[in-house]
């Protein structure tokens, strides 16, 4: 017995937490004498607790835009009672990876240090939610290919998808490169991706027919029918028209013709229109003929001469119902007026003309007959103008006013038929005698008014210059032959101032006049210049002022041969009343004063000047 010292040299004290595995515990005992003894034993702790792992629930997501998958992140928590377990993904993709469309199974395993394991599994499902893309072109409008009722049209319809495997299908219309017909063709396309998502687009291909028809015209000749009409159709002048598609209509601007078209250039326009409304025209000349002759019919007639031994017939009298398919525009006779020389049968030709200037003729007999009637003289008054020889002869026919009963062989006569200048004046009675061919007579009286309607002519001498010492006596210029008057009848001669007038030196207008029995008047004027010889007193004298003609009808003249400074001329009636006043301050050698408005009477004319006054008497006719 003594003290004993116990020491644990390895292992863990009793009551300690022994780790998994074998722990060797060694104890040594030492006595007081230093003697030792030892012992060992193992404590083995087995890890019977497996590690813990937790997978997330199944994950379902849509694809990332433009990607055939989706980036998916997740966590897989693990734990163990012992440290340093080993965590391993046995299938699937790591968190943060791009998961493909579809379902990806992710499996994980954890193994602890004791070799105990745990596993878990979850699915990551990525759905393709992005439809495929398709791009149709805009509406395409083209004209037809030449000669075709359509056009070859090519186009592209691009498609794309976030995942491969999209399929493009055309559900309506025609494929690119096809011949598209005239009009609108709607093309529909559908693209389907691997997930069954679809997208559609539509566009129109519009083909317009820009090609006009080809039209050919042919000139034709047609004939009018019995009614004077003719009709044509488009095929008559243009039966060879064609079009790349189809002809909808053919029309003519003129399709009906009548007699008015015969002989004309009838231009007819053919217009061909296709199914698309394109049109082309051409012109053809249609010659219209009237080949049906005029039917002309004549009839014989009897015509009776009238009181003057004449008869006139009309074409309608001989016509017996002529007709034609075209209008009859005129009928004429080779002879339509008959006289006594035509008594008996006469052959005449009737000519019928239609609107086309075509003619046809027939003949008829016109029998002319005369009826002898008792005479009845009917007179009319006449005016007989004398000729240049101063004579006129009046024929009985001039006096006759459709007297009756003269017939073909009757006569007309006048008891007086020749007249001269001596007969100018009151009408002269004459007797017209009418006798028929049986010798029976009748008379009537008429008046012949003989007139001289020829104006006389007069010739004046040239202006004269006469030297004189103090005065000059005016000669008779007709008597000297210086002035000449000519007329078919006797003339009345006049000279103003009159012959024998004594004139002082100065300038004068000499008026020469002629008047025939019918008061036809003609005048001429020349100037007489009386030139005073030096040394003679030529003091102006107002008495040298003349007033002519006197009597006067429409005017009178104031002559101022010495050029005196005159003031005015005043006209007074017999009662002293002033009728008219005219300024003479600017007159020349003479000045005409109009008195046409004055009544026929005697007037006083007062002429004033610085040298005094002059009073003249004037007779207004």
Alpha helices in 251-319 (DSSP H): 315-318
- Flag the least confident range among 12-16, 214-218, 373-377, 505-509: 505-509
Beta strand spans in 174-265 (E): 178-181, 183-192, 198-208, 220-223, 229-231, 247-252, 256-258
Domain 539-621: give its CATH architecture: Sandwich (2.60)
* Top mean-pLDDT range of 46-50, 365-369, 574-578: 365-369
At the top level of CATH, the class of 52-127 is mainly beta
Alpha helices in 419-519 (DSSP H): 477-480
What token pair was written down for 188?
């529909």
CATH code: domain 301-369 is 2.60.40
pLDDT band at 1 (very low <50, low <70, confident <90, very high): low
Distance of CA 429 to the CA centre of its chain: 71
Sequence ranges of the chain with CATH classification 2.60.40.1930: 539-621
pLDDT in tens, 227-284: 999 999 999 998 788 999 999 999 999 999 999 999 899 999 999 999 999 999 999 9
CATH code: domain 382-451 is 2.60.40
Sequence ranges of the chain with CATH classification 2.60.40.10: 52-127, 133-208
pLDDT of residue 536: 43
Average the pLDDT over 409-414 and give the result. 90
For the stretch 467-476, what's the b/e string if a residue is b when 16 or more beta carbons lie within 10 angstroms of its beta carbon? Answer: eeeeebebee
pLDDT(207) > 90? yes
pLDDT of residue 239: 73
> Residue holding tokens 């002879």?
335
Domain 220-289: give its CATH architecture: Sandwich (2.60)
Beta strand spans in 224-275 (E): 229-231, 247-252, 256-258, 266-274
- Flag the least confident range among 20-29, 313-322, 569-578: 569-578
At the top level of CATH, the class of 133-208 is mainly beta
pTM (global) more than 0.75: no
pLDDT band at 533 (very low <50, low <70, confident <90, very high): low
pLDDT in tens, 566-584: 999 999 887 778 899 999 8
pLDDT(408) > 90? no
Average the pLDDT over 595-619 and give the result. 87
Average the pLDDT over 358-382 and give the result. 93
Q: How far is CA 566 from CA 161, 435, 465, in A?
A: 131, 75, 24
pLDDT band at 615 (very low <50, low <70, confident <90, very high): confident
pLDDT band at 334 (very low <50, low <70, confident <90, very high): very high
pLDDT of residue 149: 95
Distance CA 214, CA 143 (A): 17
């Amino acid at each position: 017995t003594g003290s004993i010292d116990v020491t644990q040299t390895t292992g863990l004290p009793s009551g300690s937490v022994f780790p998994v595995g074998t722990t060797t515990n060694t104890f040594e005992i030492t006595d007081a004498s230093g003697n030792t003894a030892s012992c060992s034993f193992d404590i083995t702790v087995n890890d019977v607790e497996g590690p813990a792992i937790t997978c997330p629930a199944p994950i379902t997501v849509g694809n990332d835009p433009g990607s055939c998958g989706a980036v998916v992140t997740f966590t897989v928590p693990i734990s163990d009672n012992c440290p340093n377990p080993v965590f391993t993904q046995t299938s699937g993709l790591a968190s943060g990876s791009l998961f493909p469309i579809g379902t990806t199974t992710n499996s994980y395993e954890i193994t602890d240090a004791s070799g105990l394991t745990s596993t878990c599994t979850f699915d990551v499902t990525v759905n393709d939610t992005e439809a495929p893309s398709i791009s149709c072109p805009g509406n395409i409008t083209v004209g037809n290919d030449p000669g075709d009722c359509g056009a070859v049209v090519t186009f592209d319809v691009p498609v794309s998808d976030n995942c491969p495997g999209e399929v493009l299908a055309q559900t309506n219309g025609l494929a690119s490169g096809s011949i598209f017909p005239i009009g609108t063709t709607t093309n529909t396309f559908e693209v389907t991706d691997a997930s069954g998502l679809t997208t559609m687009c539509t566009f129109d291909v519009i083909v317009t027919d820009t090609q006009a028809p080809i039209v050919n015209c042919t000139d034709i000749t047609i004939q009018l029918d019995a009614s004077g009409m003719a009709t044509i159709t488009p095929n008559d002048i243009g039966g060879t028209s064609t079009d790349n598609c189809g002809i909808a209509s053919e029309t003519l601007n003129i399709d009906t013709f009548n007699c008015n078209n015969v002989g004309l250039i009838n231009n007819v326009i053919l217009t061909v229109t296709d199914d698309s409304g394109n049109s082309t025209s051409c012109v053809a000349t249609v010659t219209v003929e009237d080949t049906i002759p005029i039917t002309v019919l004549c009839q014989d007639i009897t015509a009776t001469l009238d009181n003057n031994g004449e008869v006139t017939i009309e074409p309608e009298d001989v016509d017996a119902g002529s007709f034609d398919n075209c209008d009859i525009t005129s009928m004429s006779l080779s002879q339509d007026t008959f006289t006594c020389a035509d008594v008996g049968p006469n052959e005449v030709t009737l000519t019928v003309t239609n609107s086309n200037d075509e003619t046809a003729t027939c003949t008829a007999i016109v029998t002319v007959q005369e009826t002898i009637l008792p005479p009845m003289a009917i007179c009319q008054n006449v005016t007989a103008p004398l000729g240049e020889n101063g004579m006129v002869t009046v024929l009985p026919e001039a006096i006759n006013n459709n007297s009756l009963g003269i017939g073909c062989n009757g006569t007309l006569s006048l008891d007086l038929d020749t007249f001269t200048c001596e007969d100018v004046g009151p009408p002269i009675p004459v007797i017209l005698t009418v006798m028929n061919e049986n010798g029976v007579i009748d008379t009537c009286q008429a008046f012949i008014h003989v007139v001289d309607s020829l104006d006389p002519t007069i010739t004046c001498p040239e202006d004269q210059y006469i030297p004189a010492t103090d005065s000059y006596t005016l000669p008779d210029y007709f008597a000297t032959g210086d002035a000449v008057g000519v007329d078919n009848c006797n003339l009345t001669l006049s000279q103003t101032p009159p012959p024998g007038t004594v004139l002082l030196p100065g300038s004068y207008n000499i008026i020469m006049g002629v008047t025939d029995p019918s008061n036809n008047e003609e005048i001429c004027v020349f100037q007489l210049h009386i030139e005073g010889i030096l040394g003679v007193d030529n003091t102006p004298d107002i008495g040298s002022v003349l007033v002519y003609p006197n009597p006067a009808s429409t005017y009178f003249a104031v002559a101022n041969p010495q050029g005196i400074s005159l003031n005015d001329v005043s006209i007074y009636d017999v009662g002293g009343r002033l009728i008219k006043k005219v300024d003479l301050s600017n007159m020349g050698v003479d000045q005409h004063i109009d008195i046409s408005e004055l009544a026929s009477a005697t007037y006083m004319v007062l002429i004033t000047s610085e040298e005094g006054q002059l009073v003249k008497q004037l007779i207004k006719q």
